[in-house]
Structure 1
Amino acid sequence: MVTTRPENLWFTRCPVPTATGIAADQGWLEAEFAPDGIRVRSLQEQGVGDVRGEHFSHRLPTLIREGGNVPALWARSNDAPTRLIGLTWFEERQVIVARPGSGIHGPQDLKGRRVAVPRRTIDIDFWRAMALRGFDGALRQAGLTLADVELVDLDGDVLPGQWEPELAALRDGRVDAVYTKGAVAVESAARYGAEVAVDLDALAGRRARVNNGTPRPITVDQRLLDDHQDLVVRFLAVLLAAADWAGEHPAGFARVLEAETGSGPGGVAGAYDAGRHRELHAGLGDDRLELLAEQEAFLRGHGFHDSRVDVSTWADPAPLAAARDLLPRLTLVSQEKQS
């Protein structure tokens, strides 16, 4: 059966380092599908408020999403018809901060301390999930668990800057430690005079750093994959090209990151170490799938979703394999801005 080509192909990404963000910046997604008469649109563009919530629920039939695993797993657990078609592992700055002179210098010093746990009124509270997972990863390095700290719930508006309610509580002495991650968080922590108490990036093994963005899924609606797998393959091939471009253009990559994250050069430099620009390629290897499965079990165990998501059956490696084959035949022109 021949199905009609969609008029719109939607994509969405989180305000973090993604190949999707680079491809959009370069104009490559529009250019790839324009000959088909398909308009490529972002949920982040102006005037799409009626579908913007699909970033979390993922029930838009022509949507491809590159973003945090907490909403992606939550949506799948709630029967969103999605498939996992890629996973990236991009190290973002993950640290636990404290007030100067707190005496917290490593995971073992968190025992008995008051740790900030966000509570946001949103469909899936990924802020809370990130904090719990961050503290869990640190505590386990010292043979401790979340039961060894005092979890302090902090209500906050979704609109203020990242980790602002938690950092304010730290400044005011209501908590002893706050988990933060990413470029904006680096700048926010500096404004509040917080200092790094536990550097999760320095802890041994990736398991300590599994969180919302590590690994980060690329998901697609099953209907788009069933009816127009060639479009999905081409989209993924463009993302692979964008990851290649980032690896070859560190300055251009930093510029895109500033725009994507809403952070300044200092925040980007503080959150993403030199050489990270080479790490945006998607994969579906057993190592990444295993870590995502561990994240799924953690989230389910803490009530973020109810129904188990079997990561191995959720994943479909065929589109990414086809995209790798297609990549050498893509013709893309860089739109890199000149300084």
Structure 2
Amino acid sequence: MSHQPPPQTLWFTRCPVPTATGIAADLGWLAGEFRPDGIEVRSLQDADRTEEAAHHFSHTLTNLFREGGNVPALWARARGQDTRLLGLTWIEERQAVLTRPEDTGRWREGRLAVPRRDIAIDFWRAMALKGFDGVLDLATAERVEVKAGPEAPQWEAELRALRDGEVDAVYVKGALAVEAAARFGAVVALDLDALPDPRSRINNGTPRPITVHQRLLDERPDLVIRFLTVLLRAADWAAARPRELQRILAAETGAGSAATATAYAHQPLHPDLSDERLDLLAEQERFLFAHGFTDAPVDVRAWSDPAPLAAARQSL
């Protein structure tokens, strides 16, 4: 065990989706776990917005835990960031292809909305391309670029283009997409959640990685194990309290309770590093590299370290 002194602050960041990290933070368990050590636990979402955006995607903070989309996580690793994959979750997030009501049967031969945002790693673009890739041949599809500002509301630019007849199909996921689709009068042409093969739903959040910087893992593995232990407790709590979970998910996602109930059926939030999930992540990694979202290939198994999660399970 390392004798390095503990950091004054542990940071965490998560995407606005169902995560054990978000639940543990809402319950006060992360702060409570490390308070006796004199360690402050802070969320990047409460920091300066510029600082938050930079570290959430680049993972340059050495004392940061991240539970979020795999596109930025793989992008950072491919750029040489010394992170370590601790676990993967799989949350069905209401993935769908939306069209206008009159076009539900013709969208496969139509124009696909492919967003573009001027951000360090355009995970929105990656999500749309991978969403369509799961159900049709991208090589022969007609793609229409839809520009959106970096702070544009989720799916708004694409759904506006759909409403205005500029595109014929939009890929969406999550609770906010359910609400946005209703506002724009879009309908579900294909429910990806209903497809039997989970590989059709591989995307930015499926599977979703939990990562940490290698330096923190090397210097204070005990803190990493304790952090993961809190996440496992939070996942157990969520599994036993679906109604209370809905309140937290509404706060985490920014969507109403009806939309979160529709988008996120009751599912386990427990991470693992099973061969199945690693294989699914490896397929996503190959897609991102082939389409130019990452600069170098990433060996997901070499990236992963199962020891901290195994130790966290043991500690429970």
Q: Sort the TM-score into its range (normalised by shorter chain).
A: over 0.9
Distance 2:69 2:228 in 1: 17
Q: 1:58-99 CA distances to partner (integer Å, 9 max, x unpaired)?
A: 010100100000000000000111000000011100000000
Does 2:130 align with 1:138? no
Partner of 1:76: 77
Count matched residues.
Answer: 315
Partner of 1:285: 274
Aligned to 2:71, the other structure's residue is in SS state helix
Unaligned 5+ runs, structure 2? none
Does 2:113 align with 1:113? no
Indicate if the aligned counterparts of 2:104 and 2:188 stay in contact, CA closer than 8 A: no
Shift in Å, 1:53: 1.4
TM-score (norm 2): 0.97
Partner of 2:60: 59
Instruction: Specify which of 300, 303, 323 is matched with residue 312 of structure 2.
Output: 323
Instruction: Specify which of 142, 146, 154 is matched with residue 146 of structure 2.
Output: 154
Residues 113, 48 of structure 1: CA spacing in aligned structure 2 closer, same or farther, 3 A cutoff?
closer
Q: 1:150-171 CA distances to partner (integer Å, 9 max, x unpaired)?
A: 0101110122221000000000
Letter in 1 for 2:139: A
Distance 1:136 1:49 in 2: 32
Indicate if the aligned counterparts of 2:20 and 2:269 stay in contact, CA closer than 8 A: yes
Letter in 1 for 2:264: Y
Shift in Å, 1:270: 1.8
Letter in 2 for 1:33: F
Aligned to 1:138, the other structure's residue is in SS state coil
Shift in Å, 1:178: 0.2
Does 2:174 align with 1:185? no
Aligned to 2:51, the other structure's residue is in SS state coil
Unaligned 5+ runs, structure 1? 140-144, 328-339
Instruction: Specify which of 122, 125, 136 is matched with residue 125 of structure 1.
Output: 122
User: 1:237-316 residue pairs with structure 2 within 5 A?
Assistant: 237-273=229-265, 275-276=266-267, 279-316=268-305
In percent, how many aligned pairs have the same letter?
Answer: 62
Letter in 2 for 1:50: E
Q: 1:169-198 CA distances to partner (integer Å, 9 max, x unpaired)?
A: 000000000000000010001100000001
Letter in 2 for 1:198: L
Shift in Å, 1:46: 4.3
Partner of 1:330: none
Distance 2:241 2:197 in 1: 28
Indicate if the aligned counterparts of 1:112 and 1:148 stay in contact, CA closer than 8 A: no
Shift in Å, 1:25: 0.2
Distance 2:187 2:246 in 1: 24
Q: 1:7-37 CA distances to partner (integer Å, 9 max, x unpaired)?
A: 0001000000000000000000000000110
Shift in Å, 1:50: 3.0
Partner of 1:142: none
